[in-house]
Protein backbone atom coordinates (compact mmCIF):
# COMPACT_ATOMS: atom_id res chain seq x y z
CA UNK A 1 0.00 0.00 0.00
CA UNK A 2 1.31 3.50 -0.75
CA UNK A 3 2.25 5.75 2.12
CA UNK A 4 -0.26 8.50 2.93
CA UNK A 5 0.20 11.51 5.14
CA UNK A 6 -1.95 13.81 7.18
CA UNK A 7 -1.16 17.21 8.65
CA UNK A 8 -3.11 18.73 11.55
CA UNK A 9 -3.40 22.24 10.16
CA UNK A 10 -3.10 23.34 6.55
CA UNK A 11 -2.04 26.84 7.56
CA UNK A 12 1.36 25.45 8.60
CA UNK A 13 2.11 24.33 5.03
CA UNK A 14 0.22 26.71 2.73
CA UNK A 15 -0.65 30.40 2.97
CA UNK A 16 -2.22 33.07 0.80
CA UNK A 17 -1.20 36.53 2.00
CA UNK A 18 -2.23 39.96 0.73
CA UNK A 19 -0.61 43.38 1.25
CA UNK A 20 -0.67 46.94 0.00
CA UNK A 21 2.53 48.30 -1.50
CA UNK A 22 4.40 51.04 0.37
CA UNK A 23 7.58 51.38 -1.71
CA UNK A 24 9.87 50.29 1.13
CA UNK A 25 12.74 47.88 0.50
CA UNK A 26 13.38 45.31 1.72
CA UNK A 27 10.00 44.56 3.24
CA UNK A 28 8.97 41.47 5.16
CA UNK A 29 5.58 39.97 4.35
CA UNK A 30 4.48 37.74 7.22
CA UNK A 31 2.11 34.79 7.27
CA UNK A 32 2.51 34.07 11.00
CA UNK A 33 2.91 30.30 10.68
CA UNK A 34 5.90 29.07 8.67
CA UNK A 35 8.91 29.96 6.59
CA UNK A 36 7.91 29.28 2.96
CA UNK A 37 10.15 27.46 0.51
CA UNK A 38 8.13 28.30 -2.61
CA UNK A 39 6.63 31.75 -3.09
CA UNK A 40 4.46 32.96 -5.98
CA UNK A 41 3.60 36.67 -6.10
CA UNK A 42 1.18 38.61 -8.34
CA UNK A 43 0.10 42.23 -8.41
CA UNK A 44 -3.68 42.32 -8.12
CA UNK A 45 -4.55 45.80 -9.42
CA UNK A 46 -2.14 45.99 -12.34
CA UNK A 47 -0.39 44.03 -15.04
CA UNK A 48 2.65 43.08 -13.01
CA UNK A 49 4.07 39.70 -13.94
CA UNK A 50 3.74 36.51 -11.90
CA UNK A 51 7.00 35.99 -9.99
CA UNK A 52 8.02 32.57 -8.64
CA UNK A 53 10.88 31.97 -6.21
CA UNK A 54 11.99 28.84 -4.39
CA UNK A 55 14.54 27.88 -1.77
CA UNK A 56 16.45 25.44 -3.99
CA UNK A 57 17.24 28.00 -6.70
CA UNK A 58 17.52 30.64 -3.94
CA UNK A 59 19.08 34.08 -4.25
CA UNK A 60 16.98 36.55 -6.20
CA UNK A 61 16.29 34.11 -9.03
CA UNK A 62 12.72 34.44 -10.29
CA UNK A 63 10.62 32.77 -12.96
CA UNK A 64 7.44 34.07 -14.58
CA UNK A 65 4.51 31.71 -15.14
CA UNK A 66 3.05 33.82 -17.96
CA UNK A 67 6.37 33.90 -19.85
CA UNK A 68 8.63 31.50 -21.71
CA UNK A 69 11.66 33.37 -20.33
CA UNK A 70 14.52 31.78 -18.47
CA UNK A 71 14.96 32.67 -14.81
CA UNK A 72 16.12 36.19 -14.00
CA UNK A 73 17.99 37.55 -11.01
CA UNK A 74 15.37 40.18 -10.17
CA UNK A 75 16.67 42.75 -7.74
CA UNK A 76 13.01 43.57 -7.22
CA UNK A 77 12.16 40.31 -5.46
CA UNK A 78 14.12 38.28 -2.97
CA UNK A 79 12.29 35.79 -0.81
CA UNK A 80 13.42 34.06 2.33
CA UNK A 81 12.32 33.02 5.75
CA UNK A 82 12.23 35.25 8.82
CA UNK A 83 12.98 33.31 12.00
CA UNK A 84 10.23 33.04 14.57
CA UNK A 85 6.58 32.08 14.39
CA UNK A 86 5.36 35.66 14.77
CA UNK A 87 7.36 36.96 11.84
CA UNK A 88 7.62 33.99 9.48
CA UNK A 89 7.12 34.90 5.86
CA UNK A 90 9.20 36.23 3.01
CA UNK A 91 10.88 39.44 1.97
CA UNK A 92 10.28 41.62 -1.07
CA UNK A 93 12.70 44.22 -2.35
CA UNK A 94 12.22 46.58 -5.24
CA UNK A 95 14.21 48.02 -8.10
CA UNK A 96 13.56 51.24 -9.95
CA UNK A 97 12.28 49.47 -13.09
CA UNK A 98 9.80 47.05 -11.63
CA UNK A 99 8.90 47.94 -8.06
CA UNK A 100 5.23 47.65 -9.00
CA UNK A 101 5.72 43.89 -9.32
CA UNK A 102 5.99 43.42 -5.57
CA UNK A 103 5.63 46.52 -3.40
CA UNK A 104 4.96 49.70 -5.35
CA UNK A 105 2.97 52.45 -3.66
CA UNK A 106 -0.67 52.11 -4.70
CA UNK A 107 -0.27 48.48 -5.67
CA UNK A 108 -2.10 45.58 -4.08
CA UNK A 109 -0.52 42.13 -4.03
CA UNK A 110 -1.01 38.49 -3.16
CA UNK A 111 1.63 35.89 -2.31
CA UNK A 112 0.89 32.15 -2.33
CA UNK A 113 3.34 30.17 -0.24
CA UNK A 114 4.17 26.51 0.27
CA UNK A 115 6.37 24.84 2.86
CA UNK A 116 8.93 22.31 1.60
CA UNK A 117 11.89 21.38 3.82
CA UNK A 118 14.44 24.17 3.64
CA UNK A 119 17.83 23.62 2.05
CA UNK A 120 17.97 20.92 -0.62
CA UNK A 121 19.55 17.52 -0.26
CA UNK A 122 20.99 15.34 -3.02
CA UNK A 123 18.63 12.67 -4.37
CA UNK A 124 19.98 9.76 -6.42
CA UNK A 125 16.72 7.82 -6.90
CA UNK A 126 16.54 8.69 -10.60
CA UNK A 127 18.89 8.26 -13.53
CA UNK A 128 19.61 12.00 -13.12
CA UNK A 129 20.81 13.20 -9.73
CA UNK A 130 18.52 15.89 -8.35
CA UNK A 131 18.54 18.43 -5.55
CA UNK A 132 15.35 18.15 -3.50
CA UNK A 133 13.59 20.01 -0.71
CA UNK A 134 10.65 17.77 0.24
CA UNK A 135 7.89 18.12 2.81
CA UNK A 136 6.53 14.58 2.85
CA UNK A 137 3.80 15.38 5.38
CA UNK A 138 2.37 18.10 3.11
CA UNK A 139 3.05 16.28 -0.17
CA UNK A 140 5.20 19.00 -1.73
CA UNK A 141 8.75 19.14 -3.06
CA UNK A 142 10.96 21.50 -5.00
CA UNK A 143 13.35 19.66 -7.34
CA UNK A 144 16.21 20.92 -9.50
CA UNK A 145 18.21 18.88 -11.97
CA UNK A 146 20.35 19.19 -15.09
CA UNK A 147 18.89 17.89 -18.33
CA UNK A 148 20.65 15.44 -20.62
CA UNK A 149 18.49 15.76 -23.73
CA UNK A 150 17.50 12.11 -23.31
CA UNK A 151 14.77 10.07 -21.62
CA UNK A 152 15.45 9.96 -17.90
CA UNK A 153 14.01 9.68 -14.41
CA UNK A 154 14.30 12.27 -11.64
CA UNK A 155 13.94 11.71 -7.89
CA UNK A 156 11.28 13.87 -6.21
CA UNK A 157 11.61 12.87 -2.54
CA UNK A 158 7.91 12.60 -1.67
CA UNK A 159 7.63 8.88 -0.93
CA UNK A 160 4.31 8.80 -2.81
CA UNK A 161 3.53 9.38 -6.47
CA UNK A 162 2.87 13.05 -7.29
CA UNK A 163 -0.56 13.97 -8.59
CA UNK A 164 0.70 17.12 -10.30
CA UNK A 165 4.12 18.25 -11.53
CA UNK A 166 5.05 21.64 -12.99
CA UNK A 167 8.43 21.92 -14.75
CA UNK A 168 10.38 24.90 -16.13
CA UNK A 169 13.65 25.12 -18.05
CA UNK A 170 15.62 27.67 -16.02
CA UNK A 171 18.24 28.51 -18.64
CA UNK A 172 16.41 28.76 -21.95
CA UNK A 173 13.25 30.38 -23.33
CA UNK A 174 11.43 27.24 -24.44
CA UNK A 175 7.89 27.14 -25.82
CA UNK A 176 5.38 24.46 -26.77
CA UNK A 177 5.43 23.75 -23.87
CA UNK A 178 7.13 26.45 -21.82
CA UNK A 179 5.82 25.23 -18.46
CA UNK A 180 4.76 21.58 -18.95
CA UNK A 181 2.27 20.26 -16.41
CA UNK A 182 1.62 16.62 -15.53
CA UNK A 183 -1.76 16.03 -13.92
CA UNK A 184 -3.11 12.72 -12.70
CA UNK A 185 -6.48 13.32 -14.38
CA UNK A 186 -5.06 13.55 -17.93
CA UNK A 187 -2.34 10.93 -17.54
CA UNK A 188 1.21 10.39 -18.69
CA UNK A 189 0.69 10.68 -22.46
CA UNK A 190 -0.57 14.26 -22.26
CA UNK A 191 0.50 17.58 -20.84
CA UNK A 192 -0.81 21.07 -20.22
CA UNK A 193 1.23 24.27 -20.35
CA UNK A 194 0.71 26.77 -17.54
CA UNK A 195 2.06 29.56 -19.76
CA UNK A 196 -0.70 29.26 -22.37
CA UNK A 197 -4.46 28.77 -22.65
CA UNK A 198 -3.98 25.70 -24.87
CA UNK A 199 -5.90 22.47 -24.38
CA UNK A 200 -4.09 19.30 -23.35
CA UNK A 201 -1.67 17.97 -25.95
CA UNK A 202 -0.21 14.52 -26.56
CA UNK A 203 3.56 13.89 -26.78
CA UNK A 204 5.83 11.08 -25.63
CA UNK A 205 8.66 13.64 -25.50
CA UNK A 206 7.38 15.24 -22.28
CA UNK A 207 6.60 12.54 -19.70
CA UNK A 208 7.88 9.60 -21.76
CA UNK A 209 4.40 8.01 -21.44
CA UNK A 210 5.37 6.94 -17.93
CA UNK A 211 3.41 7.58 -14.73
CA UNK A 212 5.35 8.98 -11.74
CA UNK A 213 6.21 6.51 -8.99
CA UNK A 214 6.70 7.00 -5.27
CA UNK A 215 10.37 7.80 -5.94
CA UNK A 216 10.77 9.33 -9.41
CA UNK A 217 9.03 11.07 -12.27
CA UNK A 218 9.93 10.38 -15.88
CA UNK A 219 10.90 12.89 -18.56
CA UNK A 220 11.26 12.63 -22.31
CA UNK A 221 13.60 14.37 -24.71
CA UNK A 222 11.78 17.73 -24.96
CA UNK A 223 13.96 20.73 -24.09
CA UNK A 224 11.26 21.95 -21.72
CA UNK A 225 11.89 18.96 -19.43
CA UNK A 226 15.34 17.69 -20.44
CA UNK A 227 17.28 20.37 -22.32
CA UNK A 228 20.86 19.13 -22.63
CA UNK A 229 23.05 20.75 -19.93
CA UNK A 230 20.14 23.06 -18.97
CA UNK A 231 19.09 23.55 -15.38
CA UNK A 232 15.43 22.72 -14.69
CA UNK A 233 13.11 23.06 -11.74
CA UNK A 234 10.07 20.92 -10.90
CA UNK A 235 7.34 21.60 -8.36
CA UNK A 236 5.83 18.28 -7.30
CA UNK A 237 2.52 17.90 -5.46
CA UNK A 238 0.97 14.78 -3.94
CA UNK A 239 -2.56 14.63 -2.56
CA UNK A 240 -2.82 14.68 1.24
CA UNK A 241 -6.29 13.82 2.63
CA UNK A 242 -7.88 16.82 4.29
CA UNK A 243 -5.22 19.24 3.03
CA UNK A 244 -4.76 19.03 -0.76
CA UNK A 245 -6.73 17.56 -3.65
CA UNK A 246 -6.08 17.04 -7.36
CA UNK A 247 -8.65 15.77 -9.80
CA UNK A 248 -11.10 16.72 -12.50
CA UNK A 249 -14.77 17.39 -13.08
CA UNK A 250 -17.00 17.61 -16.12
CA UNK A 251 -18.38 21.08 -16.78
CA UNK A 252 -22.06 21.67 -17.48
CA UNK A 253 -22.09 25.33 -18.55
CA UNK A 254 -24.71 26.16 -15.90
CA UNK A 255 -24.82 28.52 -12.93
CA UNK A 256 -25.86 25.38 -11.05
CA UNK A 257 -22.50 23.82 -11.83
CA UNK A 258 -20.70 20.72 -10.55
CA UNK A 259 -19.86 20.35 -6.88
CA UNK A 260 -16.27 19.19 -6.35
CA UNK A 261 -15.68 17.34 -3.08
CA UNK A 262 -12.26 17.99 -1.54
CA UNK A 263 -12.90 17.00 2.11
CA UNK A 264 -11.87 20.50 3.25
CA UNK A 265 -12.81 24.14 2.85
CA UNK A 266 -10.51 25.42 0.11
CA UNK A 267 -8.11 28.27 0.67
CA UNK A 268 -6.80 28.10 -2.93
CA UNK A 269 -8.23 26.59 -6.12
CA UNK A 270 -6.60 26.51 -9.56
CA UNK A 271 -8.58 25.12 -12.52
CA UNK A 272 -7.92 24.61 -16.24
CA UNK A 273 -10.15 23.33 -19.03
CA UNK A 274 -8.12 20.43 -20.41
CA UNK A 275 -10.46 19.72 -23.33
CA UNK A 276 -10.22 23.07 -25.09
CA UNK A 277 -8.56 26.46 -24.94
CA UNK A 278 -9.18 28.55 -21.86
CA UNK A 279 -7.41 30.53 -19.16
CA UNK A 280 -5.93 28.99 -16.07
CA UNK A 281 -8.19 30.41 -13.33
CA UNK A 282 -6.90 30.90 -9.77
CA UNK A 283 -8.99 31.95 -6.77
CA UNK A 284 -8.28 32.10 -3.05
CA UNK A 285 -10.06 33.16 0.11
CA UNK A 286 -7.52 35.83 1.05
CA UNK A 287 -8.98 37.95 -1.76
CA UNK A 288 -12.53 36.56 -1.78
CA UNK A 289 -15.86 37.10 -0.14
CA UNK A 290 -17.40 35.02 2.63
CA UNK A 291 -18.46 32.04 0.52
CA UNK A 292 -18.78 33.22 -3.04
CA UNK A 293 -15.57 33.63 -5.02
CA UNK A 294 -16.54 36.00 -7.82
CA UNK A 295 -14.85 36.72 -11.12
CA UNK A 296 -13.37 39.85 -9.57
CA UNK A 297 -11.26 37.49 -7.44
CA UNK A 298 -9.78 35.59 -10.39
CA UNK A 299 -6.14 35.78 -11.45
CA UNK A 300 -4.70 33.97 -14.43
CA UNK A 301 -1.27 32.25 -14.22
CA UNK A 302 -0.87 32.41 -18.02
CA UNK A 303 -1.58 36.17 -18.14
CA UNK A 304 -0.22 39.29 -16.45
CA UNK A 305 -3.76 40.73 -16.34
CA UNK A 306 -5.00 42.47 -13.23
CA UNK A 307 -7.43 40.71 -10.93
CA UNK A 308 -10.94 40.15 -12.22
CA UNK A 309 -10.52 41.37 -15.80
CA UNK A 310 -12.98 38.72 -16.98
CA UNK A 311 -15.58 38.79 -14.25
CA UNK A 312 -18.66 37.44 -16.02
CA UNK A 313 -17.94 33.74 -15.83
CA UNK A 314 -15.58 32.87 -12.99
CA UNK A 315 -17.96 32.42 -10.05
CA UNK A 316 -17.62 29.50 -7.64
CA UNK A 317 -18.69 28.87 -4.06
CA UNK A 318 -16.05 27.78 -1.53
CA UNK A 319 -17.82 25.45 0.91
CA UNK A 320 -16.83 23.56 4.06
CA UNK A 321 -16.00 20.39 2.11
CA UNK A 322 -15.30 21.50 -1.46
CA UNK A 323 -16.25 24.03 -4.12
CA UNK A 324 -19.19 24.46 -6.47
CA UNK A 325 -19.16 26.09 -9.88
CA UNK A 326 -21.57 29.00 -10.36
CA UNK A 327 -20.49 30.20 -13.79
CA UNK A 328 -21.42 29.42 -17.38
CA UNK A 329 -18.08 30.27 -18.95
CA UNK A 330 -15.93 27.73 -20.71
CA UNK A 331 -12.70 28.23 -18.76
CA UNK A 332 -13.99 26.88 -15.46
CA UNK A 333 -17.27 25.19 -16.45
CA UNK A 334 -17.34 24.46 -20.18
CA UNK A 335 -20.20 22.11 -20.95
CA UNK A 336 -18.92 18.57 -21.49
CA UNK A 337 -15.29 19.60 -20.89
CA UNK A 338 -12.84 17.88 -18.58
CA UNK A 339 -11.53 20.50 -16.17
CA UNK A 340 -8.59 19.72 -13.92
CA UNK A 341 -8.02 21.30 -10.54
CA UNK A 342 -5.59 21.62 -7.67
CA UNK A 343 -6.86 22.77 -4.27
CA UNK A 344 -5.36 23.48 -0.86
CA UNK A 345 -7.13 23.72 2.47
CA UNK A 346 -8.02 26.69 4.55
CA UNK A 347 -8.15 24.16 7.37
CA UNK A 348 -8.46 20.36 7.25
CA UNK A 349 -12.09 19.27 7.19
CA UNK A 350 -12.24 18.04 10.77
CA UNK A 351 -11.12 21.49 11.97
CA UNK A 352 -13.12 23.56 9.49
CA UNK A 353 -16.13 25.63 10.44
CA UNK A 354 -19.23 25.26 8.29
CA UNK A 355 -20.01 28.34 6.21
Place 90 in a pLDDT band, splitting at 50, 70 and 90: confident
Q: Does 348 have pLDDT greater than 50?
A: no
**Arithmetic mean of pLDDT, 7-32:** 85
**pLDDT tens digits along 231-279:** 999 999 999 999 999 999 999 999 999 999 999 999 999 999 999 999 9
User: In this structure, are 261 and 301 located in the same domain?
Assistant: yes
User: Do 329 and 281 belong together in one domain?
Assistant: yes
| Cβ atoms of 46 and 40 closer than 8 Å | no
Residue 123 confidence class, pLDDT cut points 50, 70, 90: very high
CATH number for the domain harbouring residue 317? 2.60.320
Assess whether 155 and 229 both reside in one domain: yes
Mean pLDDT of 122-129: 98
As for how many domains the chain has, the answer is: 3
Domain check: are 233 and 300 in the same one?
A: no
Query: Contact at 8 Å (CB) between 117 and 64?
Result: no
Both 321 and 273 in a single domain? yes
pLDDT averaged over every residue in the chain? 87
Q: pLDDT per residue over 95-108, tens digit each?
A: 544 556 788 888 89
Task: Say what the pLDDT of residue 97 is.
Answer: 41
Q: Which of 69, 94, 114 is the last residue of a domain?
A: 114
Is 342 in contact with 286 (CB distance < 8 Å)?
A: no
Q: Decide: 173 and 167 in contact? Cβ < 8 Å.
A: no
- Which of 221, 237, 253 delimits the end of a domain? 237
2 in any annotated domain: no
Q: What is the pLDDT of residues 163-218, one digit of tens each?
A: 999 999 999 999 999 999 999 999 999 999 999 999 999 999 999 999 999 999 99
- Are the C-beta atoms of 249 and 328 separated by less than 8 Å? no
Global pTM value: 0.93
| Residue 103 vs residue 66, higher pLDDT | 66
For residues 26-51, average pLDDT: 89
How many CB atoms neighbour CB 164 within 10 A? 23
Give the contacts of 162 (CB within 8 A, at least 6 positions apart): 139, 156, 182, 212, 217, 236, 237, 238
How sure is the predictor about 74, in pLDDT bands with cuts at 50, 70 and 90? low
Is 175 in the same domain as 221?
Answer: yes
- Under the banding of pLDDT at 50, 70 and 90, the label for residue 26 is confident
- Would you list the DSSP string of 272-325? EESSS----EEEETTSS-SSEE-GGG-B-TT--PPTTSSGGG--EEEETTEEEE
CB 9 within 8 A of CB 265: no
Pairwise CA distance, residues 210 & 191, whole Å: 12
Residue 165: domain span: 121-237
Residue pair 142/118 in contact (Cβ under 8 Å)? The answer is no
From 55, 83, 114, the end of a domain falls on 114
Check: CB of residue 160 under 8 Å from CB of residue 142: no
Residues paired with residue 167 on neighbouring β-strands, in sequence order: 234
pLDDT at 87 over 80: no
- Res. 116 pLDDT band, cuts 50 70 90: very high
| Same domain (yes/no): 109, 164 | no
Amino acid sequence: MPTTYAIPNGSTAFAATTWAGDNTTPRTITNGNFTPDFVWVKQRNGTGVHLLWDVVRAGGLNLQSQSTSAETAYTSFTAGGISGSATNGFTVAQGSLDSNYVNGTGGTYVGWQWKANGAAVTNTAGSITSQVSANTAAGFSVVTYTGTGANATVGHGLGVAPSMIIVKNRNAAISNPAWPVYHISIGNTKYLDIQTNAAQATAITVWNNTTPTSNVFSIGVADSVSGNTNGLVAYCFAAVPGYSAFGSYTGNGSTDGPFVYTNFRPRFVLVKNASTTGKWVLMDTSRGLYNEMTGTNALYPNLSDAEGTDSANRQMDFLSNGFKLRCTGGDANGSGSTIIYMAFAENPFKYANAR
